[in-house]
């Protein structure tokens, strides 16, 4: 792993051996969305969409980008970046139909007074029954990068398993991108959520990418979380799944059936 250095005040340049993390959240609107929007043209898809669509790796209506499908007991969920959702709120499409209900945020109890600390930047979206892409829950849709299938037993990567030089892939707003990890370390910006680990890659990011699935060396690794001087900052997947007692879907139906799954009405 790279040597690490926490940011506690003004941001500095990102270097390969130190991490300095600029607190610019990738939202469509809001006080944190202060970066200049970089226009990235969509890249051509190589595969057709399913019905219902696989939202892992793609934009979810009204909730930024989807991360990974997981299971909480008998409930299928999709990870969604925490700053694009409100726990307990119901997400609906433009016709008023339920997409799902947001669950709790990943959160750490050991945290300085007056701050919010999290192992990773996501919460869950408990999907309505008709929004679940049965038979495809172990997929991530990377657009032009194609669908990626997780074999049975594939494990999510933790911060300690991600190293400088590792290959990174993301897809948001239908723009597939690749790069490499250049740094990692604690994120302690004074007016933002504190994360024990933020990983930086030399991949351009834009408004709307937040929450998208990040693959490292082809493995499920993290959630797009911050803009670090125009580059991708993501938080690790394994720690967030563990915190919320989630099981990553690595079989087509995530070891459930439509009849046995318990989903919001």
The rounded mean pLDDT for the chain is 86
Residue 21, pLDDT > 50, answer: no
pLDDT digits (tens, 9 = 90+) for 165-188: 999 999 977 889 999 999 999 998
Tens of pLDDT along 67-76? 999 999 999 9
> Would the pLDDT of 118 be above 70?
yes
- pLDDT score, position 217: 98
Question: DSSP letters of 36-73?
Answer: PPPP-PPPPPSSPPPSS---BTSBPTTSSBEEEEEEET
pLDDT of residue 31: 28
The pair of three-digit structure tokens given for residue 201, joined into one six-digit string? 């890659």
Determine the Cα–Cα distance for residues 145 and 45; give it in Å rounded to an integer. Answer: 8
The mean-pLDDT minimum among 1-10, 53-62, 159-168 falls in 1-10
Q: Above 70 in pLDDT, residue 25?
A: no
Query: What is the predicted pLDDT for the residue at 226?
Result: 92
Q: What is the DSSP letter of 106?
A: P
Instruction: Write out pLDDT tens, residues 30-59.
Output: 223 323 334 455 677 878 899 999 999 999
CA distance readout (Å), 9 to 32, 51, 198, 202? 16, 46, 16, 22
pTM for the whole structure:
0.86
**pLDDT of 190:** 86
Rounded CA-CA distance 119/236 in Å is: 8
Task: Say which CATH class 24-40+157-237 falls into.
Answer: mainly beta
CATH class of residue range 66-151+242-248: mainly beta
The span from the CA of 166 to the CA of 160, in Å, is: 12
pLDDT tens, position by position, 79-98: 999 988 999 999 999 999 99
The first and second tokens of residue 244, run together, are: 């919320």
- Is the bond into 52 cis (omega within 30 degrees of 0)? yes
Domain with CATH 2.40.10.10 in the chain: 24-40+157-237
């Amino acid at each position: 792993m790279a040597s690490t250095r926490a940011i506690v005040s003004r941001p500095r340049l990102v270097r390969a051996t130190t991490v300095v993390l600029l607190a610019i959240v990738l939202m469509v609107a809001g006080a944190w969305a202060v970066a200049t929007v970089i226009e990235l043209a969509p890249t051509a898809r190589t595969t057709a969409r399913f019905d219902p669509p696989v939202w892992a790796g793609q934009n979810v209506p009204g909730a930024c980008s989807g991360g990974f499908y997981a299971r909480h007991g008998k409930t299928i969920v999709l990870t969604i970046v925490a700053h694009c959702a409100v726990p307990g709120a119901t997400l609906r499409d433009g016709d008023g139909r339920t997409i799902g209900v947001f669950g709790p945020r990943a959160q750490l109890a050991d945290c300085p007074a007056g701050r919010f600390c999290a192992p990773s930047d996501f919460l869950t979206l408990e999907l309505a029954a008709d929004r679940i892409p049965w038979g495809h829950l172990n997929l991530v849709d990377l657009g032009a990068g194609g669908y990626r299938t997780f074999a049975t037993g594939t494990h999510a990567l933790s911060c300690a398993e991600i190293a400088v030089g590792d290959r990174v892939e993301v897809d948001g707003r239908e723009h597939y991108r690749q790069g490499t990890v250049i740094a990692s370390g604690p994120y302690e910006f004074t007016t933002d959520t504190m994360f024990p680990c933020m990983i930086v890659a030399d991949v351009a990011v834009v408004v709307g990418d937040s929450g998208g699935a990040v693959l490292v060396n082809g493995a499920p690794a993290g959630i797009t979380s911050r803009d670090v001087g125009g580059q991708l900052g993501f938080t690790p997947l394994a720690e967030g799944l563990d915190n919320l007692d989630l099981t990553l879907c690595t079989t087509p139906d995530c070891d459930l059936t439509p009849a046995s799954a318990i989903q919001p009405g």
